[in-house]
Amino acid sequence: MTIERVGVVGAGQMGNGIAHVFSLAGYEVVMTDVSAEALDKAVALIERNLDRQVAKGAATEDEKASAMGRISTTPTLTDLGSCDLIIEAATEREAVKTAIFEELVPHLAPHTILTSNTSSISITRLASRTDRPEKFMGFHFMNPVPVMQLVELIRGIATDEETFRACFEVVERLGKTAATSEDFPAFIVNRILMPMINEAVYTLYEGVGSVSSIDTSLKLGANHPMGPLELADFIGLDTCLAIMNVLHDGLADTKYRPCPLLTKYVEAGWLGRKTKRGFYDYRGETPVPTR
Ligand SMILES: CC(=O)CC(=O)SCCNC(=O)CCNC(=O)[C@H](O)C(C)(C)COP(=O)(O)OP(=O)(O)OC[C@H]1O[C@@H](n2cnc3c(N)ncnc32)[C@H](O)[C@@H]1OP(=O)(O)O
Ligand SMILES: NC(=O)C1=CN([C@@H]2O[C@H](COP(=O)(O)OP(=O)(O)OC[C@H]3O[C@@H](n4cnc5c(N)ncnc54)[C@H](OP(=O)(O)O)[C@@H]3O)[C@@H](O)[C@H]2O)C=CC1
């Protein structure tokens, strides 16, 4: 099947990156969000990130202008009904995602493939809340989307081969690499990455090290590009906690117990970079550790 028009639901840090890479690869993109401000911010951010690529010689001014011309925004979710492929990238809460699918489904063309960028939630369960479990998949990008090479593709129990092939071909046209994961809590990347981040928070909670010593240790001692607490702030502490809860509930093993300190940061609304405070305070010139 031919995919030309792509709908993106949620214009946060993942939604803007997803719209960016699809438009640069020549797809028409329609992006929606509950917040008009988020849509405006996303378009401005895509333009800034494309400028960065132009400055580095990774894209030309013409490619940038055509990519920007292929992106439109709408506050109305049901305007996405005519898209060939939809990628839901709203907040990591199952109730939010199912409400989106339930509102969208009556407006979809019969051929539309519905996907979720969820970091952890059961694809089979999300699919079961739609009219098309066979045309439903997990399409999981990594952050920052324009930079990271991987896309995890997750089939639900009912996903058909045609849908999988179509999504696989899209990943190739984006110039990215697909890895396939079975549909179990948090799939592959987050099944491995998030317990490491949670353990870093326990290391902080138990006073084994400060924020700086933990991040410096993993950056210089294990060659990670970002320390685990810096990475947690980058991903969003609400998303990290949501993923740990899915692992804990879904696999019923205490080794996935979210660290109480992670819960406390989220309760404070200190969600990391997106709220300017998390394990670091980003309100000044340079990030300052908060513990
Ligand atoms: C939670 C989930 O469900 C799954 C996930 O996504 S888990 C998170 C996965 N992501 C990671 O682990 C990221 C780890 N961090 C990194 O790889 C690096 O720190 C980083 C790529 C983000 C930044 O690298 P850096 O060397 O410190 O910064 P910088 O030199 O400014 O940027 C490197 C490149 O990325 C680009 N870049 C950085 N941030 C960007 C962004 N937000 N958008 C677009 N481009 C960006 C830069 O333009 C630069 O491009 P070139 O290589 O073409 O020059
Ligand atoms: N952060 C990361 O590193 C990664 C995240 N993901 C996944 O991507 C998804 C999005 O995460 P991320 O971009 O970080 O989150 P953000 O919080 O940055 O963005 C989520 C966006 O969705 C909006 N939203 C909430 N409810 C709705 C709705 N009903 N309809 C449309 N938009 C809505 C939010 O608006 P408002 O703020 O007004 O509520 C916000 O703008 C999640 O499923 C997450 O797990 C996947 C890979 C990496």
136 and 15 inside one domain:
yes
Domain finish residue from 148, 182, 216 = 182
Domain finish residue from 130, 161, 182 = 182
Query: Is the distance from the beta carbon of residue 119 to the nearest atom of ligand 1 less than 6 Å?
Result: yes
Complex ipTM > 0.90: yes
197 and 259 inside one domain:
yes
134 and 169 inside one domain:
yes
Instruction: Specify the residue for token string 């809860």.
Output: 245
% residues pLDDT > 90 (the chain):
99
> Within a 10 A sphere around the Cβ of 4, how many other Cβ atoms?
10
57 and 134 inside one domain:
yes
Ligand nearest, relative to CA of residue 273: 2
- CA 64/CA 127 separation, integer angstroms: 35
> H or E element: which one contains 248?
helix 237-251
pLDDT at residue 272 above 90? yes
21 and 137 inside one domain:
yes
CA of 143 to the centre of ligand 1 (A): 7
Total domain count for the chain?
2
85 and 156 inside one domain:
yes
Amino acid letter, residue 44:
A
194 and 178 inside one domain:
no
| Atom 31 of ligand 2, residue of closest alpha carbon | 33
pLDDT at residue 90 above 90? yes
CA of 236 to the centre of ligand 2 (A): 10
**pTM of the shown model:** 0.96
> Do 11 and 32 meet the contact criterion of CB atoms below 8 Å apart?
yes
Query: Is the distance from the beta carbon of residue 148 to the nearest atom of ligand 1 less than 6 Å?
Result: yes
| Atom 20 of ligand 1, residue of closest alpha carbon | 225
Amino acid letter, residue 199:
E
Residues recognised as catalytic: 119, 140, 152, 190
Taking only the tens place, the pLDDT of each residue in 183-225 is 999 999 999 999 999 999 999 999 999 999 999 999 999 999 9
127 and 230 inside one domain:
no
Q: 226 falls in which pLDDT band (50, 70, 90)? A: very high
17 and 153 inside one domain:
yes
Taking only the tens place, the pLDDT of each residue in 10-60 is 999 999 999 999 999 999 999 999 999 999 999 999 999 999 999 999 999
Instruction: Specify the residue for token string 């401005």.
Output: 44
pLDDT at residue 1 above 90? no
By residue range, what is the domain housing residue 127?
A: 5-182
Query: Is the distance from the beta carbon of residue 111 to the nearest atom of ligand 1 less than 6 Å?
Result: no
73 and 198 inside one domain:
no
Amino acid letter, residue 157:
I
146 and 253 inside one domain:
no
- Residues in the ligand 2 pocket, defined by CB under 6 Å: 9-15, 32-35, 38, 89-92, 96, 100, 117-119, 141-143, 235-236, 239, 274
* CATH number of the domain that residue 65 is part of: 3.40.50.720
Residue set of the binding site for NAD(+): 10-15, 33, 92, 97, 119, 143, 274
* CATH number of the domain that residue 262 is part of: 1.10.1040.10
pLDDT at residue 273 above 80? yes
If one residue of 239, 240, 245 were mutated to test the ligand 2 pocket, choosing by the most ligand atoms within 8 A of its CB, it would be 239
For the record, the structure tokens of 211 come out as: 């924020």
Domain finish residue from 155, 182, 209 = 182
pLDDT at residue 174 above 80? yes
204 and 92 inside one domain:
no
